[in-house]
Amino acid sequence: MSSQEKRNKKLLFIEIAGDLLTSLFKFIIGIVSHSSAVIAEGFHSLADTTNQIFLLIGIERSKKQPDKIHPFGYGKESFFWAFMSAIFILAVSATMAIWEGINQIRNPRIISDFRLGFLILGVSAIFQLITLSFSSEHFYRFFKNIKGKGNFFRRLKSVKEPTIINLWFGDIAAIAGNIIAGIALFLTMTTGNVIFDGLASILIGLILAGLAIFLIRDSQELLIGEAVSPAVYEEMVSLISEVEEVESIISLKTMHLSPTEVLVNADLEFKDGLTTQEIEKIIDVIERKLKKKIPNLSQIYIEAETKY
């Protein structure tokens, strides 16, 4: 297991334990106090917990060794389980939070105890700030090594690690949800109008839906077979072109097999007059050169084209 995977698993276990407990308490307090916003936050924490469990399953299953049925390995399992996590967030947690909010507006329930609601939201916010500090450090360590230029979102597209993306954005969304629920409780307490509680629940559901759609699109691209980022692709072209025996690059195709593995298929035209043995040695040099500069290139296939 790589050091990156070990850090991912450690962070996942911390977040699973915390989110599971806060989800349980939010549901209990939300039901007892009749607060839809707190119940919606319960679904939010449940979504985070399920999300992290799916990601953990993906990490474990992606470690399976290649076999006859899957000769390139099981690395894409991590992408599949990230996709399943996003589907759960959209289909269950977001839907239930929105429904709870609509039901509170249509059939208002008077909130019986605001103190319990503020207490659980405060404790949850403190926990989420702690986990956000961990996930932010984790994300920054990974993000600063992303090759290429451009704004934050352009560089973010180059991140092919679903665990890092899910946890970081999930923590940000969780803090936003706690703030929204807290504001709704305050407005409801000061005005006596429970519509704020219902609207907050709907807004939390919409945040979950937006997060899920973003994660679905990200995982979909990787499942289909996404290439390396333009910056990495340009670096590969530059490295191959530096080899003087290479006449031209006919085609260069890449695909992420996992967050840390990339398949490379290169069709190169070599200068004439080279023997088969010489070409084989040059191909070995190119492979070593690529792997040294770009460690994620786990499987490289180079096809030689010679002039006649």
Domain boundary among 174, 192, 224: 224
Decide if 193 contacts 110 (C-beta within 8 A): no
Q: Say if residue 183's pLDDT is above 90.
A: yes
Q: Are residues 27 and 134 in the same domain?
A: yes
Q: Say if residue 88's pLDDT is above 70.
A: yes
Of 138 and 291, more confident: 291
Instruction: Give per-residue burial for 25-43: e unless 16+ CB within 10 Å, then b.
Output: bbbebbeebbbbbbbbbbb
Decide if 83 contacts 90 (C-beta within 8 A): no
Q: Are residues 219 and 253 in the same domain?
A: no
Overall number of domains in the chain = 2
Q: Is the dihedral of CA 154, 158, 164, 165 positive or negative?
A: positive
For residue 127, what pLDDT is reported?
Answer: 86
Domain boundary among 204, 224, 244: 224
User: Which residue's structure tokens are 């961990």?
Assistant: 134
Instruction: Give residue-wise pLDDT tens across range 126-140.
Output: 888 888 888 888 777
Decide if 49 contacts 88 (C-beta within 8 A): no
**Structural domain of residue 302, as residue ranges?**
230-306
For residue 136, what pLDDT is reported?
Answer: 84
**CA–CA distances in Å: residue 169 to residues 118, 136, 205:** 24, 9, 15
CATH number of the CATH domain containing 16: 1.20.1510.10
User: Which pTM was predicted?
Assistant: 0.79
Q: How confident is the model at residue 191 (pLDDT cuts 50, 70, 90)?
A: very high
What is the rounded average pLDDT for all residues in the chain? 84
Instruction: Give residue-wise pLDDT tens across range 237-266.
Output: 999 999 888 888 999 999 888 877 888 899
